[in-house]
Amino acid sequence: MSTIQKLMEFNKQFVEQKQYEVYLTDKFPDKKLVILTCMDTRLVELLPRALNLRNGDAKIIKNAGAILTQPFGSAMRSILVAIYELGAREVLVIGHLGCGMTNLDSKGMVNKFIQRGIPDSVISTLENSGIRMDRFLRGFKCPEEGVMHSLEIIRNHPLVPKDVGVHGFVINPETGELTLISEDNRPEMAQ
Ligand code: ZN
């Protein structure tokens, strides 16, 4: 059976046996949290468990490295939707130890594109039209640096209201231990 067939088979039973019932909730985050974190597989179940998050508690946005690259990109848009449309009051950016985006080798990745059959000419056409691979495939030196970079963009964003707290953490992907990197204590936060 292929991966997709297995997945569909399981899903059919999941629905038939009403296993979804324990997860029923609504779209508004009960703990008023929006979290930007990494897509790392070790965090799939560990992160919600380690933060005591259940279905319905938080909006969770994931990408490689928990990195915000652009103030008007899709991750930032998701954060704004969580704040304005879904009632989130705190933004948590959670990087992790041993992240694959630490010192991401952009040249090495371009070589892999070519090995997998992407023509050289495609890379040069992209470069010539302003898509710089070293920027597009940029990681960070350490997870703390990545988190601080994302925090800076969110905290200084012209559309993020000042009464929203924006905090940074690094999580251990084995033990789930959370280290606070930067707590938002802007004066507007005092309530
Ligand atoms: Zn990661």
Q: Give the chain's end-to-end CA distance (angstroms, integer).
A: 56
Task: Please give the distance, rounded to the nearest whole angstrom, from the Cα atom of residue 180 to the centre of ligand 1.
Answer: 17
The ranges assigned to domains in the chain are 29-99+142-191, 105-138
Phi, psi of 118 (to 5 degrees): -75, 120
Q: How far is the CA of 34 from the centre of ligand 1 (A)?
A: 18
**CATH architecture designation of domain 29-99+142-191:** 3-Layer(aba) Sandwich (3.40)
pLDDT at 1: 85
DSSP 122-179: HHHHHHHTT--HHHHT--BSSHHHHHHHHHHHHHT-TTS-TTSEEEEEEE-TTT--EE
* pLDDT at 146 exceeding the cut of 60: yes
Please list all protein residues whose beta carbon sits less than 5 angstroms from ligand 1, which is an ion. Answer: 38, 40, 99
d(CA 15, CA 77) in angstroms, rounded, equals: 32
Above pLDDT 70, what percent of the chain? Answer: 97
Q: How far is the CA of 142 from the centre of ligand 1 (A)?
A: 11
Q: Is the pLDDT of residue 188 over 80?
A: no
Residue with tokens 């038939």: 16
pLDDT tens track for 71-115:
999 999 999 999 999 999 999 999 999 999 998 999 999 999 999
Whole-angstrom distance, CA of residue 69 vs CA of residue 94: 15
